[in-house]
Amino acid sequence: MRILYFQSHSPCIALGEACFALTPKVWLADKKHLFLELSSTAQCFKGEKRQLEFFTSLAELWSTQGILVLTDRPQWSAAFATQNTFLAPGESEAALLKLPIERLAYCGNPSTFEAESLQRQALVAFMKRVGLKTIFDFTRLNATAISRRFGRLGIELKDIIQNESEIFLPPLIPSETIVETMDAQEIISMEALLFCIRQMLVKIEARLRARMLSLTSLKLRLHLEQGKLEKTLSFSEPQTTASELIPVIRELLNNLRWDSPLLNIDVEVLETAPCILGQLSLFDLAENRYAELSKYLEKWQIRFGKESVGFATLLESHVPERSWKITPTPPRENVSVDLSHRPVFLYSSPRPYSPPQNARLVPLEKIIAEWWDEGSYRMYFISQTPTEKLWVFWDFLKQQWFVHGSFH
């Protein structure tokens, strides 16, 4: 199990809802203790680093401050929350035992911390008086000694430390309605007002994406010092980008008039529709294109095999046959090599070739293969005629022409 724990300085219910796009296992204790189980979706995000980046971007969206902890067990998370702490798999227990005895008060279920605060602090103070300095010192005591000295809470804490007791966290239940509110008392221009509304729409997008929904109707409320203005916007097609909504809202605001000072704004989602392919994100259209392309590739893979159809990934090799490979997913980073002089289309293996008399041969590069690979000494050319443009080479060892690819 891998747990991302966020100890927020303020309630983070909306942030927690958006985190369902990161993992289906989200828990929230006392509105400020957010737990995400990352193991189930780590492969989808290609590792914990990208999961952390995704969460950080969501937290920044809500301007939520707090402490992040990545550990192996939820019951140990709060004990590490003195600063941002990221522990590799399998390192959490050893790191926990090294913590000062004061952090023992924060082991367990954060839902109980407030109710048990006085009891926990008194117990830890007593442990310090009897000479315990670290959590490891506490675990060295046997169960009888712990029960006699520290009572039932002491036994519970030892079970938690030694992973012999599970905690039951309250699962986060998304709210029935999605509403975002923002203070507008310092807004002095239409552009500033539109900027604030766009920020609210970005948050709404994140919460809708987590529910796999798109927007079909919303209500905009302007709360004034005297009364309020309400406008409902309905769309014939599900809306997927804030950039599409902003011009509509700009026109709406230009037609509104109010004489009383503006206090705050809220945007409420009234109606939604299930997301379909091509409507996955309000801002990141790359994932939509990838989803569409993946469906297309699946059909070709069934026909020609997975080893023959996929995404081209560049490799560190000057030999064309070894400079790329087929992978099932798009490469995150390609090697920094300029291959603009080579064609996109390559034959699976070079074919014998005889340049026609009207071909114009333009020299490009010499390639000498590694000595252990049967040797190869090639001179590459562009062979161009009025009807075709080919990538060819002369093999000095075989004394023969080959065609390796086509520029058309």
pLDDT at 374: 58
pLDDT at 279: 44
In a shared domain, residues 49 and 93: yes
Task: Compute the average pLDDT of residues 180-184.
Answer: 88
Q: Which two tokens stand for residue 381?
A: 């050319």
CA dist 287 → 46, 277, 280 (Å): 14, 10, 7
pTM for this predicted structure = 0.62
The Cα–Cα gap between 151 and 144 comes to: 10
Tell whether 279 is covered by a domain.
Answer: no
Please tell me the chain's helix, strand, coil percentages from 3-state DSSP, rounded to the nearest 5.
35, 30, 35
The Cα–Cα gap between 260 and 184 comes to: 13
- The helix-helix angle for 143-161 and 117-129 (nearest 10°) equals 130
Binned at pLDDT 50, 70 and 90, residue 95 comes out as: very high
In a shared domain, residues 317 and 390: yes
Which is higher by pLDDT, 129 or 280?
A: 129
Residue 293, pLDDT above cutoff 70: no
Which is higher by pLDDT, 347 or 89?
A: 89
> Which residue type sits at 100?
P
Give pLDDT tens digits for 11-24. 888 998 999 888 88
Total domains in the fold of the chain: 3
Residue 375, pLDDT above cutoff 60: no
In a shared domain, residues 154 and 7: yes
Mean pLDDT estimate for the chain? 82
Binned at pLDDT 50, 70 and 90, residue 238 comes out as: confident
Task: Compute the average pLDDT of residues 279-289.
Answer: 49
In a shared domain, residues 242 and 120: no
Farthest CA pair distance, the chain: 100
Binned at pLDDT 50, 70 and 90, residue 69 comes out as: very high
Tell whether 265 is covered by a domain.
Answer: yes
Tell whether 282 is covered by a domain.
Answer: no
Domain membership of residue 92 as a residue range:
3-161
